[in-house]
Chains A and B, each alone.
Chain A
C-alpha cells in the first residue's frame, strides 16, 4: 500500500466539495409568517427580546450568513421551528394577558438557568447573550407587572362553596380519568409527606410539594441526584386569597401535578412520568399524550437537579 498520494487527495477534496454543493439543494422552507399579535412591552424590554430571542421565537427571523449554507441551515431552521412552536413573540398577543405573563416569567427562569438562549446558539451568536444588566431590566419589568390584587367577595364565595362540597364528601369514590399519556390518578397523594412549599406571585398560587415514601427515604439518605425509581412527587396548587392586611390564605383548589420516576417506562420524558389534574373535579390536563412536551420544555433546563424544581427540606422520617 502506498497510501494516499497527492492525486488522491485532490479527488477527495473534489468529492467533498461536490457533496457540499449537492446538499445545498436540500432546503426545508423557513417562511416568516406575518406578525399578527406582537407582545406589547416597553421599548427597552422589547429591544432585548428582539436581539436575543426573536430570531427563533418570532416571525421576524433573520439568519446570519453562516447559518445559511447546509448543514448549518438544517440545524438552525429546525431550532426556529421548534422555538416558534414553544413561544412566538409575533403571535403571543392573542393569548389572555395572564397567560402571556406566565410565559414571560417562565422565560426568565429559562434564561437564569442558562437554558436560553440555547448555549450552542449563543456561542455562535454572541450578540444574543443576555447580560446581567439586561436580565435586571426584564425582571424589573415583570416584577412591576405583578399585581397585589386583594381577593374579591365573589372569589371567596366560590372557594367557600368548593370547600363545603369537599369537606362533606372528601372520600366520595369518584371516577378520575387518567392523564392522556396513560398515567392514572393517585388519590393517596394527600397523605404523602410535605417536602417543601412555594408561593408563586407570577400566577398567584400557593403550592405544597408532597413526596411518597420512596422520595422521603431518598431525601433522608441524600440520594436525590438521581432520584431512585419509584419516586413520586405531587405538587398541589391553590389560588391565593390575599386580604387587605397582607395575609395570604389558600383559596380554591387549582391543580395537582405528579412526577413519577421510572427511567425505562418514561425514557422519552427525562425519566419522569408527568401528569396533571385541574380543578376540584380533577379534569386531566392535555388534549393528547403530546402535552408532556410542555412539561419537558421547562424541566429540561434542570439537568443539574435531575429535572426537579424542588430543593427538598429534609427530616420527614
Chain B
C-alpha cells in the first residue's frame, strides 16, 4: 500500500510538471463535503427520532421513498429481542419517510432527499391495559396532520408496530 501511494505521488509529481507546461483539461463535476441539509427534520416534533436507535429500514419503488424505523431504548431493545409485537409501556417508535434522490457519489444508489412524513407511535399502559397514540407530521416545516388513539392498534399504528427488527448481529 505504501508503495502504491508512493507511485501515485511520484506519477502525480512528474505529470504535474508536464501539465504546468501544457495547461489543464476539462472541468469535472464537483462533490463537496456537506451535510444533507434538505433531508433533516425541521419543525416541532414531540421527540427527535434521529436520537434513537434503528429498528429497520424500508423503501417503496412506486412512491420513490425510503424510510427508517427508529425506536427509543425501550422499543429498540424490545424489537431486537422479541419476535412478537407487544411493545411494553414506554415504547416509542418513529417512522421517518424521505423522498429519494440519486446519490452523486455512487451511481446506482439512492439517498434521502426531503422529509415526506414523520410518524410516531407511543405505547402507554394504565392499569394493565395498553393504549397506543399515533401522530403524523408532514410538510415543511413539519406540522401535525393527524392524531389517533387506539386501544387495539390499527391502520398506520399497526403497520409501524408490526415491522420486524432488522438483523443486527
Q: A252-B167, A313-B50 are in contact. Are A194 and B28 (CB under 8 A)?
A: no
Min C-beta distance of A70 to chain B, whole Å: 12
For the complex formed, measure the closest distance between the CB of B8 and the CB atoms of chain A, giving whole angstroms: 8
Q: Which stretch from A9-17, A47-55, A199-207 is at the chain B interface?
A: A199-207
The residues of B that contact A146 with a CB separation of less than 8 Å are: 108
Contact (Cβ within 8 A) A190 B53? yes
**Interface window among A18-26, A57-65, A242-250:** A242-250
| Number of residues of chain A lying within 8 A (CB) of chain B | 84
Write the chain B residue with the least CB distance to A317.
B51
Residue in B closest to A293 when the chains form the complex, CB atoms:
B1
Interface membership of chain B positions 29-47, coded 1 if the CB is closer than 8 angstroms to chain A and 0 otherwise: 1111111110111000000
Mark interface residues in B152-169 (1 if CB within 8 Å of A CB, else 0). 000000000000111111
Tell me how far the C-beta of A100 lies from the nearest C-beta in chain B, rounded to whole angstroms: 14
> Which stretch, A33-41, A88-96, A105-113, A257-265, touches the partner chain B?
A105-113
Bound together, the chains give a CA A312 to CA B40 distance in angstroms of 9
Contact residues, A127-153 vs B (CB, 8 A)? 129, 139, 142, 146, 148
Chain A residues contacting B34 (CB-CB under 8 Å) are 311
- Asked if A163 contacts B107 (CB within 8 A), the reply is no
Q: Is A82 an interface residue (CB 8 A)?
A: yes
- Do residues B35 and A219 form an inter-chain contact, with CB atoms below 8 A? yes
Query: Given contacts A109-B107, A250-B166, A311-B36, is CB(A120)–CB(B19) below 8 Å?
Result: yes
Interface SS of A by simple majority:
mixed
A208 to B53 CA separation, bound complex (whole angstroms): 11
B58 within 8 A of A: yes
Residues of B within 8 A of A296 (CB): 1
> From residue B15, how far is it (CB to closest CB) to chain A in Å?
4
Contact: A126 with B25, CB < 8 Å?
Answer: yes
**Are B105 and A311 within 8 A (Cβ)?**
yes
> Can you list, as one digit per residue, whether each of B58-71 has a CB less than 8 Å from chain A (1) or not (0)?
11111100101010
CB neighbours of B168 from chain A (8 A): 166, 170, 190, 236, 253
**Are B62 and A245 within 8 A (Cβ)?**
yes
**Does B149 touch A at the CB level, under 8 Å?**
no
Q: Does B80 sit within 8 A of A, measured CB to CB?
A: yes
Q: Which residues of A contact B105 (CB under 8 A)?
A: 109, 113, 302, 305, 309, 311
- Given the known inter-chain contacts A167-B80, A198-B103, A280-B167, please indicate yes or no for A268 contacting B1, CB distance below 8 A: yes
Give Cα A210 to B52, complex, Å: 11
A197 touches which one: B31, B68, B104, B167 (CB < 8 A)?
A: B68
Given contacts A193-B50, A199-B59, contact A311 B19 (CB under 8 A): no
With most chain B CB atoms within 10 A of its CB, the pick from A191, A197, A292, A315 is: A197
Residue A99 lies at the interface, judged by CB distance under 8 Å to chain B? no
Q: Are B60 and A248 in contact (CB under 8 A)?
A: yes
Q: Is the CB–CB distance between A316 and B58 below 8 Å?
A: no
Query: A41 to B96, alpha carbons, bound, how many Å?
Result: 40
Stretch in B109-117, B126-134, B137-145 with 4+ CB within 8 Å of A:
B109-117
Query: With A166-B169, A199-B59, A304-B33 as given contacts, are A129 and B26 in contact (CB-CB < 8 Å)?
Result: yes
> Of A142, A166, A194, A247, which is within 8 A of B54 by CB?
A194
B32: shortest Cβ distance to chain A, in Å? 6
B39, B70, B112, B168: most-surrounded residue (chain A CB, <10 A): B168
Whether A225 sits at the interface, judged by CB under 8 Å, is yes
Task: Establish whether residues A75 and B15, one from each chain, have CB atoms under 8 Å apart when the complex forms.
Answer: yes
* A139 and B107 form a contact (CB under 8 A): yes
A residues at B contact (CB < 8 Å): 71, 75, 78-79, 82, 105, 108-109, 112-114, 119-120, 122-124, 126, 129, 139, 142, 146, 148, 162-164, 166-168, 170-171, 190-191, 193-194, 196-203, 206, 208, 210, 219, 222, 224-225, 236, 238, 240, 242, 245-250, 252-253, 256, 268-269, 280-282, 290, 292-293, 296, 302, 304-306, 308-309, 311-317
A-B contact pairs, 7 of them (CB 8 A): A124-B18, A190-B54, A200-B106, A222-B35, A224-B33, A246-B60, A250-B167
